[in-house]
Structure 1
Amino acid sequence: MENDRLLVIVEDDQDFARTLKRSFERRGYAVLQADSHAALVDLLSVRKPSYAVVDLKLGTESGLLCVQTLHAHDPAMTIVVLTGFASIATAVEAIKLGASHYLAKPSNTDDIEAAFARTAGDPSTPLAPRATSIKTLEWEHIHEVLKDSDFNISEAARRLGMHRRTLARKLAKRQVS
């Protein structure tokens, strides 16, 4: 019974992880936290969660490795990938590796819990492209290049043709949709 509502949050941003943990605890979940793949492996050696929320970028690590580990540990686990680095490539890989859902930040507890409850796809989802701004397109392109350069800011800046400090400033800003 304990494992029915046992959730693991794999997130390196301690403030966000703490906020998410409190929110899920208020909803009746028992919540475990890990901030890296190594911490997750240690946690899984003694616990078996039913749910997982995994950040795609964990410092210099990829959360995709955590998704793969979680799925191998329990193929029935519901895994939601949460990311500010959304791209089609990482969404496809996350699903292939065992994630149930892929949500772009900002997402809240309601969004994540709704993803936990969805067990099937929705064929009526509209195919119309979403409206987007130039800033959003720039943000998505920067993050795609950053992902392709293994989150190396200097290499991503070189590929984008901008100074490393300029890229660092852009990354420090929060995206506003």
Structure 2
Amino acid sequence: MNTDFHLKRVFIIDDDPTFNRILQRALSNRGIATAGAQNADGLAQTLHTFKPDAVILDLNLNGHSGLELIDTIRKAVPGARILVLTGYASITTAVEAIKRGAYQYLAKPTDVDSILRSLESPSDETAGGELEAKPMSVGRLEWEHIQRVLAEHNGNISATARALKMHRRTLQRKLAKRPVKT
């Protein structure tokens, strides 16, 4: 672990009030000051006032991408480490999160110890590297490919379906399912 970085203050942005409260309590029990929000309302001012060492950001906030908040977080607290948590992990979103300035990316479900390890360790030693540790199943490879093509077409379902030579309804059914486990 990196001995130069110690978490003292963590801000949690997750639209699930129960998860948000439980994670805040678990971190507080470890001596870490916490605050949280369920959306982006007043986020920049709140972060500037709270001054966290790290921000835990849910990827899906009431149907909006948490990735859109990374720039706001970076401007409000430039030195904070941003950990993106998601129940819909994909290599595409992991790469996008890191490109935008996230420090690390973890798939849910996860535990507090994994979250702390990810935030306190140098970024090349943390759990995000587990995305490529095991070979992916054929179903997971299909999901990753669909996500990549969808991103290339800026989320346009019809254009993505044409590019994949797939009927639009078939694509919508595949997208409605949770990602396939590896």
TM-score normalised according to structure 2 size: 0.71
Match of 2:177 in 1: 170
Asked if the contact 2:57/2:84 (under 8 Å) is kept, the reply is yes
Q: Secondary structure at the match of 2:55?
A: strand
Q: Secondary structure at the match of 1:16?
A: helix
The number of equivalent residue pairs is 167
Q: Secondary structure at the match of 2:83?
A: strand
Change (3 A) 1:88 1:46: same
Q: Distance in 1 between matches of 2:177 and 2:132?
A: 29
TM-score normalised according to structure 1 size: 0.72
Match of 1:10 in 2: 13
Runs of 4+ in 1 over 4 A off after TM superposition: 125-129, 137-152, 163-169, 174-177
2:138 corresponds to 1:131: no
Please tell me the root mean square deviation across aligned C-alpha atoms, in Å: 3.3
Change (3 A) 1:165 1:92: closer
Q: Distance in 2 between matches of 1:6 and 1:127?
A: 27
Listed as ranges, the gaps of 5+ residues in structure 2 are 1-6
Listed as ranges, the gaps of 5+ residues in structure 1 are none
- Deviations, residues 52-93 of structure 1 (Å, cap 9, x unaligned): 100111113211122221112222111111112323332222
Asked if the contact 2:91/2:131 (under 8 Å) is kept, the reply is no
Asked if the contact 2:44/2:76 (under 8 Å) is kept, the reply is no
Find 2:120's aligned residue among 114, 117, 124: 117
Percent sequence identity is: 35
Q: Distance in 1 between matches of 2:148 and 2:51?
A: 33
Mapping for residues 9-158 of structure 1, pairs under 5 Å: 9-122=12-125, 130-137=134-141, 140=144, 155=157
- Deviations, residues 71-117 of structure 1 (Å, cap 9, x unaligned): 12222111111112323332222222221111122222111100111
- Deviations, residues 120-174 of structure 1 (Å, cap 9, x unaligned): 424xx7997613334544555566677678779xx48x94643699568634xx9
One-letter amino acid of the structure 1 residue matched with residue 21 of structure 2 = R
